[in-house]
Copies of this chain bind each other. A is one copy, B any other.
Amino acid sequence: MREVFQQSLDEVRVRLVEISELVSEAIEKATKAFGMSDVALAEEVIDNDPVIDEKAVALDELAIDILARQQPVASDLRTVVSALRISASLERMGDIAEHIAQLTRMRFPDRAIPKGLKGTFTKMGEIDVNVAHKLTRLLDTRDLELAEEIRNEDDKLDDLHVAVFEKVLSDSWQGEAGATVDATLASRYHERFGDHAVSVAKKIVYLATGDWVGSDDAD
């Protein structure tokens, strides 16, 4: 029984890593499309989002099946319940990549990145991609140092999010209302992506150590 259960847990982990890889690919393409106004790439992200959604639903079904058949208790139970929550966060991260792609498509053939913020959004996009890769590795290896690194990257995202607002509210800002809307939404999406990654990282740390690190703003 224990062996069967271990196999089930391994399967859950493999699937979480797979979904996280798809999310990494989505955010990589979405931020690239956003930066280069590449509408074909943006549409690829939008078209692929249902794959992430389906894989998250399938993982939930597997987790519920494990609960029903193997009736785990204690830390095993928490691992399976956490998988349900992690899959919800990953699915949401995929949605955010899709939203960034939709902004790109909506503005095409114009640029979605407002003038004067190209550098900031390039940096935010790079950090989101970096965070997604670290999260995939964290889910795969359970190397908890990666959780700490994700938190640090998220702090940088928060700083850049503030910087976007400072720019938009400064005297030097000459963007029209449309550019202000785009900057506000894009910045919020990039920042939320990091929040969700931190939320997943915390759950993994909690499973490994029993320590819950601070409050959570991303479920």
Contact = CB atoms under 8 A, between A and B. Distances in A.
Interface in A11-62: 53
Given A219-B91, A219-B92, A81 B78 contact: no
A67 B88 contact: no
A207 interface: no
Interface of A: 53, 64, 67-68, 71, 73-74, 77-78, 81, 84-85, 88, 91-92, 95, 165, 168-169, 173, 175, 177-178, 180-181, 184-185, 188, 215, 217, 219
Contacts of A77: 64, 67-68
Nearest to A187: B181
Number of copies: 2
Interface of A is mostly: helix
Most buried by B among A81, A177, A217: A177
Nearest to A77: B68
